[in-house]
Amino acid sequence: MAYKLWLGNLILISVVISVANSQRQNSETTSDQEAQEIQVRGRVICLAEEMHKLYDADLSTNHEHLYGFKTKNGVFYTLLRTNMSEALFVDKRLHEKELIIKGRTFPQTQILEAISLYSVHDGTIHELYYYCVTCAIRAFAPEDCECCQEPVELTETPIELKPLQN
């Protein structure tokens, strides 16, 4: 009887060690993965509305917008709301533009963190930012100037940016 108890404890300890090693390896694998830098071209969309349109997903008339980005080749990303991406959430003019977002995605997700924004007009790429002409200060979102508290203006400056394949 003592032998069976000893063998049972040995098996239990082996299982616990195996599970602990597996969890450690999984956490190391996850932490070893890094965010991937990407550049995508497309438009800001409401993911809920797009899923309703494409797949007849149930959607309330009074739904909150879940903003995302649809690339030209049909890949959807959920936009992470940060200081750099705030304009994509609050400035509806940007929803009408073809955009290029340089940013990064996180391991095992389709979450896009915008780092810089560009618009495309007639094949020319423009850097997007907000600007206070009085104070000569750039901002990332359409808010009042940090200095003079006057509204900033959406500015699009033509630049040369490597063309995208998608």
Q: How confident is the model over 96-150, as pLDDT tens digits?
A: 999 999 999 999 999 999 999 999 998 899 999 999 999 999 999 999 999 999 9
The pLDDT tens digits for 64-77 are 999 999 999 999 99
Whole-model pTM: value is 0.76
113 domain-assigned: yes
Residue entry with tokens 């290029």: 100
State how far the Cα of 131 lies from the Cα of 129, in Å rounded to an integer: 7
Number of compact structural domains in the chain: 1
Q: How confident is the model at residue 10 (pLDDT cuts 50, 70, 90)?
A: very low
Domain of residue 65 covers 36-159
The answer to whether position 17 is within a domain reads no
For residue 75, being part of any structural domain is answered with: yes
Neighbours of 49 (CB within 10 A): 15
The answer to the question of residue 118 being in a domain is yes
The answer to whether residue 154 is domain-embedded is yes
Residue indicated by tokens 């940090």: 146
